[in-house]
Amino acid sequence: MPFADVVVGADPELLVQASSQATGEVTWTISNAGELETSITLERQGAFFTQSPEAFVLGPFESRTITVTAIPQPPGTYNGFSIPKGDGVPTGLRIPITLISTTTPAGTVLAEASTPRVDLSGDRSTSASGSVSFQNRGTASLVGVASSDVDWLIPQAAR
């Protein structure tokens, strides 16, 4: 019997903005791996972003790119979710959306990694760990957020 089967690719990247200013956008992709067309609506948890389109039809084996745009916010970290609804969407599916809004530095920030790479190590049954250090040769304080370009490496908060 044919069915709709909705899946999501990688989560969207972090949204970053200078406080209370308009910013760029990030995207994520939703796909229908099933054989039936399905109507999708996107709800949201969090008032700091918009998403487009908010409603659409996904044909069999079709994908759609969703654009997430931050709404200007005062300095802080904002967490929310894009929540797809429709036939074929797994129950409880939520796509995390995070915005970091920060003040613009009063001077210059010249961040340099102290080493050119990060080595991770750990036993097979445990989480691997490593660290990275930065130097700032600028005149303003360095504030940043660690991110990774691979799904299996997830930066943790500083300790």
* Chain region(s) in the chain for CATH 2.60.40.10: 6-102
CATH code at 6-102: 2.60.40.10
Q: If we measure between CA atoms, which residue out of 38, 53, 41 comes closest to residue 5?
A: 38
What pLDDT, in 10s, does the model give residues 38-83? 999 999 999 999 999 999 999 999 999 999 999 999 888 999 999 9
What pLDDT, in 10s, does the model give residues 28-39? 999 999 999 999
What is the reported pTM?
0.73
Q: If we measure between CA atoms, which residue out of 55, 118, 52, 42 comes closest to residue 82?
A: 42
Q: Up-side HSE of residue 61: CA atoms within 13 Å toward CB?
A: 2
Contacts of 74 (CB under 8 A, 6+ apart): 19, 20, 101
